């Protein structure tokens, strides 16, 4: 696959950006035409409810593919700086390693900008969701991309993923997944002096300032954590509430969590179910107060986990520090803004977050102090053109929009 990608690289890199844009637009159109089949496949593999698969798991990647069709056509691949012309050229062959939690979105968020940049790609998707990747490969073929520009290799992470990351014919490794695996891939790439982009874990804070609409902030916050059965790296899994509103917020969260019992899908597999349940048990053991859900499976069949809410969580508890990757919300109390900021920034992660306040300016002032890559203000919605990625141990580099495109480019300056 790497050999095929290397062979296809010169011709694809030399293809005018407008033509590359046309191919990416064609790919988007195939995804649109096959969206029902893809949604059903995501539901079968991942277990997400069909409506979520249609709206998010297929809707988001279609939007992202469309954004890169436009960007490829409009992006300035060269600029004049004094007596120099600076050319932005494709980095080469990209090894893309993607997770199972948003199986199509994570593929498109790497492949579309790589293709827009003029790179060729070898994709190693998660072993839990290979059929979604297979459908994507068929879509690439239907869209008329030249042979070798996109290549699919399925297999297990420690075998196929590690082989791809260490391959001397790969110029850049783009990985989304756990921080532990990201470290290994970073070390492998570093030893080969190879470009690397890592989108890793998160333990994002949802900071509700006293002036906020408490009911709205809590309801949206709970929805954010329960969506996709909690299997979202950027989920706001720590809700920070002022002492004076704490009890009311807990009651609102319990009420909100009760709505998700019936409409939430299972987690991806037995191992994940056990992982989440063990974290819930650890929360109880460390003294957090279980106010909704719990470690018991809510039904006899399927890898379901109850929508779970913990109150009286303190910042040093395991459930407030480690990424659980399940439908588990921790509610922490704070005394004042300085205390809230200290708690919010007090983990090794920095991927996302949210701030709620009566005035946007107040929320923005707080958000500017957060050590994190993305912050939603008063429930701001997802923007496929905004850079996505983390501070600290949440990763290196950015995905989506023009920042995501620049990850796949390298710089050459010509002096006159």
Please give the DSSP secondary-structure letter assigned to residue 228: G
φ and ψ at residue 138, rounded to 5 degrees: -65, -40
Whether 127 is catalytic is: no
360: helix, strand or coil: helix
Q: Which two tokens stand for residue 358?
A: 């009566």
Closest by CA position to 126, among listed 140, 139, 110, 112 = 110
Among candidate residues 283, 313, 280, the one with its CA nearest the CA of residue 298? 280
Sign of CA dihedral 166, 103, 154, 20: negative
Q: Which H helix or E strand runs over 96?
A: strand 93-97
Which secondary structure element, helix H or strand E, spans residue 22, and what is its range? helix 17-33
Lookup: tokens for 39: 């949604």
User: Buried (b) or exposed (e) across 192-210, using 16+ Cβ within 10 A?
Assistant: eebbbbbbbbbbbbbbbbb
Question: How many Å apart are CA 1 and CA 133, to the nearest integer?
Answer: 15
DSSP 8-class letter at 388: B
**Which residue in 45, 119, 199, 399 is the catalytic one?**
199
How far apart CA 16 and CA 326 sit, in angstroms, is 44
Cα separation, 246 vs 388, whole angstroms? 31
Strands 395-396 and 195-199: antiparallel
Run of H or E residues at 331: strand 328-334
Catalytic residue among 233, 362, 399, 407: 233
Q: Is 199 a catalytic residue?
A: yes
Look at phi and psi of residue 149 and say left if phi exceeds 0, alpha if psi is from -120 to 50, else beta: alpha
Give the C-alpha separation, 325 to 154, whole Å. 23
CB atoms within 10 A of CB 33: 12
Give residue 255's Cα distance to chain centre.
28
> Which residues does the annotation mark as catalytic?
199, 233
């Amino acid at each position: 696959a790497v050999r095929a990608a290397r062979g296809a690289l010169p011709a694809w890199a030399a293809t005018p950006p407008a033509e590359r844009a046309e191919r990416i637009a064609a790919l988007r159109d195939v995804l649109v035409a096959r969206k029902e089949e893809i949604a059903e496949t995501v539901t079968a593999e991942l277990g997400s409810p069909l409506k979520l698969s249609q709206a998010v798991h297929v809707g988001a990647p279609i939007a992202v593919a469309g954004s890169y069709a436009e960007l490829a056509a409009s992006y300035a691949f060269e600029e004049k700086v004094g007596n120099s012309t600076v050319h932005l050229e494709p980095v080469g062959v990209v090894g893309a390693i993607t997770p199972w939690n948003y199986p199509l979105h994570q593929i498109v968020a790497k492949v579309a900008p790589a293709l827009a940049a003029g790179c060729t790609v070898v994709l190693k998707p998660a072993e839990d969701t290979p059929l979604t990747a297979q459908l994507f490969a068929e879509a690439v073929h239907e869209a008329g991309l030249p042979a070798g520009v996109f290549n699919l290799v399925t297999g297990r992470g420690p075998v196929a993923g590690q082989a791809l990351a260490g391959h001397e014919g790969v110029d850049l490794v783009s990985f989304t997944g756990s921080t532990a695996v990201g470290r290994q891939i970073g070390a492998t790439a570093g030893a080969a002096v190879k470009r690397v982009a890592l989108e890793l874990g998160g333990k994002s804070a949802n900071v509700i300032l006293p002036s906020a609409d408490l009911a709205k902030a809590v309801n949206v916050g709970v929805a954010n954590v329960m969506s996709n059965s909690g299997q979202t790296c950027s989920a706001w899994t720590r809700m920070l509430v002022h002492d004076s509103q704490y009890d009311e917020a807990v009651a609102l969260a319990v009420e909100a969590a009760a709505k998700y019992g019936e409409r939430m899908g299972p987690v991806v597999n037995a191992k994940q179910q056990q992982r989440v349940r063990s974290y819930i048990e650890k929360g109880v053991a460390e003294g957090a107060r279980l106010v909704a859900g719990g470690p018991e499976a809510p039904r006899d069949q399927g890898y379901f986990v109850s929508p779970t809410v913990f109150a009286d969580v303190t910042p040093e508890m395991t459930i407030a520090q480690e990424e659980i990757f399940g439908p588990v919300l921790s509610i922490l109390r704070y005394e004042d803004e300085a205390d809230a900021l200290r708690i919010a920034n007090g983990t090794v992660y920095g991927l996302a977050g949210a701030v709620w306040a009566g005035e946007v300016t107040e929320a923005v002032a707080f958000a500017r102090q957060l050590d994190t890559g993305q912050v939603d203000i008063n429930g701001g919605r997802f923007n496929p053109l905004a850079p996505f990625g983390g501070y600290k141990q949440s990763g290196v580099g950015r995905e989506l929009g023009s920042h995501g495109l620049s990850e796949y480019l390298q710089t050459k300056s010509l002096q006159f």
